[in-house]
Amino acid sequence: MNLRQLSYFVAIGEAESVTKASARLRIAQPALTRHLKHLEGKLGAPLTRRYGRGIVLTDAGRYLLGRVRPLLNELAQVEAEVMELARRTPVEVSLGLPSALSCLADRFIERAATLQPAVRLRVVDGWSGFVLDWLQSGRLDLGVVYDHFGDMNGLVSRPLTSEDHYLIVKRSDRLAERDRITLAEVATLPLILPSRRHGLRHAAERAFASIGCHVEPVAEVDAVPTIRTLVERGTGFSILSESEIRFHLSSALIAIPITEPGLIRNVSIAFRAGNPVANLESLCSVIRDEALAMSREGVLGRAAGASVLEA
């Protein structure tokens, strides 16, 4: 069977007349009759029989009509929807990600392209502080951000996951043999941290304050690659997220779990309240579902566990 024969048969069955179906389809009656006979031959059953000036469907014909008609209607609807998508200009939505998570952008893009075909994601990366600034200034539509203690006014956020943060040390350092380190011990080390405009710095300072410590870093650096290079050279130590460690840590560095207490930051997706771009909530749901899937796979969030990071 092919779609043409089935659509011709449906027209004949609905009209109960080859002549009327021929006029409706604008196809010569002999040609329409040949298609009907070919279909009956392929099925091995008569589908119609003559009745006066018209035709009536046999039991097999009525069964086939009842099964095929909704399928053809569904195909017609799919065709109309695809044609509408082809005519529609894709809506570009800009998404900001922390640099640590930028390597996961392809997952978000592929998921959005599958479930939101009218949306085209444009992805940029930067510190959470930068992403928040870009959101509030209107340069971004959506942003994945870590906990941030700056001005979140005017932003709507949805939780995605959470991540542990680790002390980063040079592999040849004496601390590299440790399987964990307390936050109080971390406070005594020469730390290289980002400036106070970034969430990681705020989170670290709040964690240190919770145990009665105040830390002044030996250097403030707002570029993670430079931080990693300085730690490799033995200039100091730093604190980085699970994702940064999993995807960007070199073999020259070791990640040590921080305990008593641990340093955990939540990851959320945010957008400006009143953003005119349509379906942002729906797109947030798509990204959230993908983030949950990645957590279950062990490539994002606390579900991964420390053993993966130390491998």
**Model confidence pLDDT, tens digit, residues 271-302:** 888 777 767 888 888 888 888 888 888 778 75
Count the neighbouring beta carbons within 10 Å of the beta carbon of residue 226. Answer: 12
Report yes or no: 146 and 265 within 8 Å, Cβ to Cβ. yes
* Mean pLDDT, the chain, integer: 85
Report yes or no: 32 and 13 within 8 Å, Cβ to Cβ. no
99 vs 186, which has greater pLDDT?
A: 186
Model pLDDT, residue 303:
37
Do 119 and 203 fall within a single domain? yes
Report the CATH number at residue 209.
Answer: 3.40.190.290
Report the CATH number at residue 52.
Answer: 1.10.10.10
**Model confidence pLDDT, tens digit, residues 111-162:** 887 777 777 888 888 888 888 888 888 899 999 888 765 566 788 888 888 8
Do 57 and 95 fall within a single domain? no
89 vs 178, which has greater pLDDT?
A: 178
Do 73 and 138 fall within a single domain? no
Report yes or no: 12 and 4 within 8 Å, Cβ to Cβ. no
Model pLDDT, residue 171:
95
Do 304 and 184 fall within a single domain? yes
User: Global pTM?
Assistant: 0.63
DSSP codes of every residue in 23-84: HHHT--HHHHHHHHHHHHHHHTS--EEEETTEEEE-HHHHHHHHHHHHHHHHHHHHHHHHHH
Among 53, 71, 87, the domain boundary falls at 87
Going by C-alpha positions, the residue among 209, 210, 233 that lies closest to residue 221 is: 233
Do 147 and 236 fall within a single domain? yes
Among 64, 87, 110, the domain boundary falls at 87
Do 42 and 158 fall within a single domain? no
Do 36 and 96 fall within a single domain? no
The Cα–Cα gap between 12 and 9 comes to: 5
**Model confidence pLDDT, tens digit, residues 12-41:** 888 888 888 888 888 898 888 898 899 888
The Cα–Cα gap between 213 and 207 comes to: 9
Do 204 and 251 fall within a single domain? yes
Do 165 and 241 fall within a single domain? yes
Q: Which domain holds residue 80?
A: 3-87
Among 87, 121, 149, the domain boundary falls at 87
Task: Tell me how many domains the chain contains.
Answer: 2
Cα dihedral 238→241→243→248 (10° resolution): -10
Do 126 and 266 fall within a single domain? yes
Model pLDDT, residue 257:
95
**Model confidence pLDDT, tens digit, residues 218-272:** 999 988 899 999 999 999 999 999 888 888 888 999 999 999 999 999 888 888 8
Do 128 and 192 fall within a single domain? yes
Do 19 and 82 fall within a single domain? yes
**Residue 253, strand partner residues:** 170
